[in-house]
Structure 1
């Protein structure tokens, strides 16, 4: 399953850089939003380039001095156009590069002040009226931290004294014709960090309109384990089947510099093979390729420790009941500390390595060559093709079939 969108209230980024980078790299979201990063405006470009170097980014620092919302996307997958931004939301028009999918996407980080949240409800209402007045409302998805819940069963604690704020939220989404997208995962998406008597609430959600439900009828939301935050990440799968293109194996210099490179190749090549000479050569080449793939994905002990600690924490959190016991909270805290220690060791290694290699790599032309290759790929890619009868085809397999058919004839 390809997860298309994600929003994550990460609750501070400075001490979670490696965790955030690993989270985004592991899941490969097309569009991802980070909320409550606590990063100053002058540092946003630097930190965003570390956690997701392939993303393009939008921030809302012009509307809030803390830049509470970051929206990043892979521009080889999605075209993103900013429609509106404020202190509590960023709304974009997103289109898949193959032209097959488009929608409005609003990333929400509502204020924890009920009075200030009224500005958000007004902004969303104005956006709805703006589109409804000109044409049919496009598919619309709103996801993020709304800082308020809708129903009594969405908390394990007492209802707030001022339930009027809940009524205002419910009125807004009813007026906009929004409903919760069907979802898997946690019901309560936030906890207050209290191990003895935790308060749990559903503050994060994914809302969609009826046009969305008609357009993406197989779409699904999923709330992933919290990780090092007190919020669960919200993800959206559009339910659209797209071609998976397998790239050919490539041998890069960094792998050749690995001290185990020669011994790995030698061991794979020297294993005996019985058959004719061509079969022997091709079989040995396949074995070498497989061995080098395994070497490339081994990642080193420090990174493996990070992955192991992260998986242990996320798997444990995924099995937690809605109201965990004191012992379960204590164990979760231990696993969180294990992950923090593994990340700290990895960060120390990477910082030391970057200082040693900076004179050799930092002042080179790597960025120039990367941008040149990216520009060529963007200029040469084929997103659609017409056959001899004028029929338009999209998708990797369809385009390949039309091209092969043309040259055969």
Structure 2
């Protein structure tokens, strides 16, 4: 599979029996999962950038009627996650086999909703960051101490949001524009050799490209929550794929209500969850 990965350029899916567990919870009623039996497979996933698709249905895909294990899974490469993230693996009933068949499902993309503001670490590297924070913290005193703290924190949040909007919104667009400018400069330099003005401009654009490339990578890393891979070596595509995979894993694609009906529509799932917690709140009151 490593060889296939090295020559495969487009999106690809590898789904089936890998005969290996990955996590401690992947085995029930058997020997404990040891690091040595998961090491090679984890290294393969790390080296190739393969991601495991979200699965629904049975927790375990194989059994000998004593031990239960999850050894069947669907893996996709980075290109797949960047282009087709809305898929999942359904683990079906095994019937007469010791393995549960896997079924690939295409999910309905959920509509975009307003999300809470997230603080990205790169904002703190802005040269005016501390100045914005200090100014936002001033002159917000009230009669109550906690109200003062609340007002100050709210002011700081607005200052950070403003800084983010002014300087860090649309990072991918900034990078594309810098690359276009750099390409034009280098094309012009090919016919105007040893032109100091063009050479200085090229150096400036290369510096800008490196700066914004690091910022983009830092943002994608934070969104993906991948902690083991260090920044550098242009890992943006990998972090982006991990972020898309994490967002998909966090989505609730279907839900079975208390009478056994499976809900697939987003508005039905939302109404069921709200109704459930309203019922709990009413019982407690």
* Alignment TM-score > 0.5, same fold: no
TM-score, L = length of structure 1: 0.29
Q: Indicate the structure whose relative CO is greater, using CA pairs within 8 Å and at least 6 residues apart.
A: 2
Greater fraction strand: 1
